[in-house]
Structures are given as C-alpha cells and as structure tokens.
Amino acid sequence: GALGTGKTTFVRLLAERLGVSGRVLSPTFVFAHEHPILKRFPFRKLVHIDAYRIDSQKIFRSTGISHYFKDLANLVVVEWGEKIRRWIPQPDLVIRLRHHSPRTRKIQIVKFHAPQRK
C-alpha cells in the first residue's frame, strides 16, 4: 500500500497475535528486523522486511535479506514487496492496504498459495 496505509501497524498487530515481545518498528533504514515468535506456531521467527529503498537487484543482494526466504521456520512479511518480487519466491499470501477514508483502510487479499510444509 501507499505511504501511511498502515503496513507497519498491520505487522505490529500480527506480531502481537504471534506472541512477539518487544517493540515492532518499521525496518526502513535497516531493511529487516527479526522477532522471535514465542507462541507455539509452525514459525519460530517473524521477519519484517521493508523493501521501499530497494530499487535494483544490486541493492537487493547487498541487503542480505534473501536468506530469510529459504528458512521455512520464518514468517516473512514484506512491506513494498512489489519492489523485490522478481528476486524472491512466490508469496503464500499478498495483502494490499489502501486508504478508504482518512480514518479507514481497505484490506484486500489478492493471492493465496498454500505452502508445502513438512
């Protein structure tokens, strides 16, 4: 979604539901934050990536974030995922947030791909 649509707020609420302790901040200037998931889930870590500043494959490679997608124990949430979709695996779920009014947002689930977990 556009700036200010609530992407980081969405990740904060997701993290809360997963039992993540500590503050969830936007990783805009560091590209990614890792948060251990404390509740019993198939995932052990929430990885919050902000791809807003990634505008080339060279920058993508330099961030080192590609390894997060290889570990099935990671739940990877990417803000601005459309900027890096060519270099990451097909997502299991794509959620789009957009402004509906100054105080409300529309959430649209646009793609679901059932993951193959072992």
Q: Which domains does the chain have, with CATH numbers?
A: 7-112 (3.40.50.300)
pTM exceeds 0.85 for this model: no
Name which of 3, 11, 88 is nearest 48 in CA terms. Answer: 11
Look at residue 64 and tell me whether its pLDDT is greater than 70: yes
pLDDT of residue 25: 78
CA atoms of 19 and 14, how far apart (whole Å): 9
Worst-scoring range by mean pLDDT, 5-19, 28-42, 82-96? 5-19
> 112 or 31: whose pLDDT is higher?
31
Q: What is the mean pLDDT of residues 109-115?
A: 69
Rg for the chain, CA atoms, rounded: 14
